[in-house]
Amino acid sequence: MVDPVVHIANLTIQYGKDTVLQDLNWQIFPGEQWILGGPSGTGKTTLAKAISGQLKYEGEITFHLDPTSPLPAKIHYVSNWFQFTNLEGDRNFYYQQRYNKFAKNDTLTVFAELKHFAQEEQLSFENVRSYLNIFGFENFKDQQLIELSSGEHKRLQLIKALWLQPQVLIIDQPYTGLDAQSREDLNQIFDQLADKGVTFLLISNDDEQPDCINRFAEIQHGKIVIRQNSNELSRGLPRTRKALPYFLQRAPEVTSPIMVKMNKINISYGEKQVLKNIDWEVKAGEKWLLQGHNGSGKSTLLSLINGDHPQAYANDIHLFGKKRGSGESIWDIKEHLGIISPELHWYYDMNANVGQTIASGFFDSMSLYQRLGFEQQQKLEQILHFFDLKEVKHKTLGSLPLGQQRLVLLARTIVKHPELLILDEPCQGLDKEQTQYFNDVIDDLSKSGQTLIYVGHFQTQLPTCIDNKIVLEKGEVKAVFEVIHKKEALST
């Protein structure tokens, strides 16, 4: 009889008073390739961390790895969020630090990180070159880890995992931050490694999946439930669409008919040019989709708008009617806009409670340091009710499922009713129902004249209000056009 590669018996995990997994039993056998799906918040990431030895638990988890296999007898886990450290092992970074040239030497370079991993796992550099090429990392070797976006960090962790080729590979949300071509390439690699004997457990609700997948499961009431195919995986409960809070039903105050104007923008890091001769204008009331392959310069472009990038002063940029560098502070800029991004989520204070997190949006801070006035308190309560967050108001942000954390940060973004919303991959970590709800909210906000810049790779995860599109390629504007026939235009 064949032993299971992974055997789980009576697994129970609690966070405080909340039981996440309860007497869970599961076996994964050689040749099985699993997708673990189902609604956000059911315990999928918790289970993955337990299997990979990152969480304490009650019960039993045993492994039967093959000592005769050419593959390393290892269980390797790629998390949805990767927390790197500086050279002293500290994780205390701040949001704008990745753009600060004086702070960059505080972390390893990509090359040093790969070299360290190769030494630790006894790997040959020759075997990683193809993955560096596929994921567009050939030119990243000399960059500091702190300079990478969250999507770039995810690709780096995927490169290391695929290079290692362990007997069991667990990947949480494998397609996060990947463009269409990268997702296709990744699925081909999964199929190749499955043929070599790698056993996969992919935590995913995406419609895309590699051909090698042959088993499906989800977690219900803390226990594993086996499904026959991906169509049988449960969906989250549709959220009831509510009327926006009253203060969000009117148009935001607009200070200039042209909110963003860029003329011949050029940004370089050393010899590497990230943006080349960018011209772009965003008028009040427009809804823009910003797209481009991984590494095309989208995050850098947005950092010029939200005031975080110091090279903005050396370029011809007008924001909200004023030339950048004409005496305004970074806080003067942030007063006009609300932003949500994987990076902001990454650096946010996870120990702040939900109420504090949302209220910090009034002050553009990464935690709440000021008392709220009466009107602000009223708006906070309306937002908590609108997003069904009243019951978790006093829970810490880090204690919530990732999808619910992202909704809290959306609430933070809109609570001050900014004239410009910047939403950078806002639906990462949300299940399909949460994504639909999120985009319904954006569509409702757009009806009152909200100006929007939206970044999204997945065509099925976009709001319907988009009316303009700009596409970057290798730091240059590849295309700019008005969206008329929306399905066709957004799918190009």
Instruction: Output 100 or 133, whichever has higher pLDDT.
Output: 133
Q: How far is CA 371 from CA 349, 376, 422, in A?
A: 18, 9, 26
Residue 153 confidence (pLDDT): 82
Q: What is the largest CA-CA distance in the chain?
A: 75
| Sign (positive or negative) of CA dihedral 416, 420, 421, 424 | negative
d(CA 218, CA 417): 38
Place 419 in a pLDDT band, splitting at 50, 70 and 90: very high
- Closest to 407 measured CA to CA, from 388, 420, 422, 391: 388
User: What backbone phi and psi angles, to 5 degrees, belong to 125?
Assistant: -65, -30
Residue 87 confidence (pLDDT): 44
Residue 102 confidence (pLDDT): 42
In SS3 terms, 356-391 reads as HHHHHHHCCCCCCCCCCCHHHHHHHHHHHHHCCCHH
d(CA 304, CA 182): 26
In the predicted structure, residue 117 carries a pLDDT above the cut 70? yes
Residue 490 confidence (pLDDT): 53
The single residue listed with the structure tokens 């004023």 is 322
d(CA 120, CA 135): 22
Place 177 in a pLDDT band, splitting at 50, 70 and 90: confident
DSSP, residue by residue, 56-104 = --EEEEEE---TTSSS-S-EEEE-SS-----TTS-----GGGGG-TTTG
What is the DSSP pairing of strand 337-340 with strand 420-424? parallel
d(CA 17, CA 70): 44
What is the fold, at CATH topology level, of the domain defined by 6-232? Rossmann fold (3.40.50)
In the predicted structure, residue 225 carries a pLDDT above the cut 60? yes
Whether 278 and 272 have beta carbons less than 8 Å apart is answered as no
d(CA 59, CA 406): 31
d(CA 401, CA 18): 12
The CATH code of domain 246-490 reads 3.40.50.300
pLDDT in tens, 231-262: 999 987 777 888 999 999 998 999 999 999 99
Letter for the amino acid at 348? Y
Strand partners, 157: none
Average pLDDT, the chain: 87
d(CA 307, CA 475): 19
DSSP-based three-state secondary structure for 221: coil
Q: Taking the CA atoms of the chain, what radius of gyration do you get in angstroms?
A: 23
pTM recorded for the entire structure = 0.81
Residue 310 confidence (pLDDT): 76
Letter for the amino acid at 328? E
CB atoms within 10 A of CB 335: 17
pLDDT in tens, 263-322: 999 998 777 788 999 999 999 999 999 998 877 888 889 988 987 777 777 889 999 999
- Closest to 334 measured CA to CA, from 369, 366, 358, 378: 366
d(CA 44, CA 19): 13
Residue 341 confidence (pLDDT): 85
Whether 421 and 453 have beta carbons less than 8 Å apart is answered as yes
Strand partners, 323: 318
Instruction: Output 379 or 205, whichever has higher pLDDT.
Output: 379
CB atoms within 10 A of CB 332: 13
| Sign (positive or negative) of CA dihedral 105, 106, 110, 112 | positive
Whether 424 and 346 have beta carbons less than 8 Å apart is answered as no
> What's the distance, CA 414 to chain centroid?
19
Q: Specify the DSSP element, H or E, that contains 26.
A: strand 18-28
Q: How far is CA 65 from CA 160, 216, 225, 259, in A?
A: 20, 22, 24, 58
CB atoms within 10 A of CB 229: 11
d(CA 279, CA 408): 34
Residue 288 confidence (pLDDT): 96
6-232 and 246-490 share one fold = yes
CB atoms within 10 A of CB 10: 12
The single residue listed with the structure tokens 């190749």 is 192
In the predicted structure, residue 454 carries a pLDDT above the cut 70? yes
| Sign (positive or negative) of CA dihedral 228, 215, 38, 414 | negative
Structure-block tokens of residue 312: 């903005």
Domains in the chain: boundaries: 6-232, 246-490
d(CA 236, CA 232): 13
- CB neighbour burial string for 201-224, b if at least 16 within 10 angstroms, e if fewer: bbbbbbeebbebbebbbbbeebeb
Q: How far is CA 117 from CA 75, 143, 157, in A?
A: 15, 16, 11
Q: Specify the DSSP element, H or E, that contains 433.
A: helix 432-446
Residue 492 confidence (pLDDT): 42
Query: Region 417-423: what's the mean pLDDT?
Result: 94
Letter for the amino acid at 471? V
What is the DSSP pairing of strand 18-28 with strand 75-78? unpaired
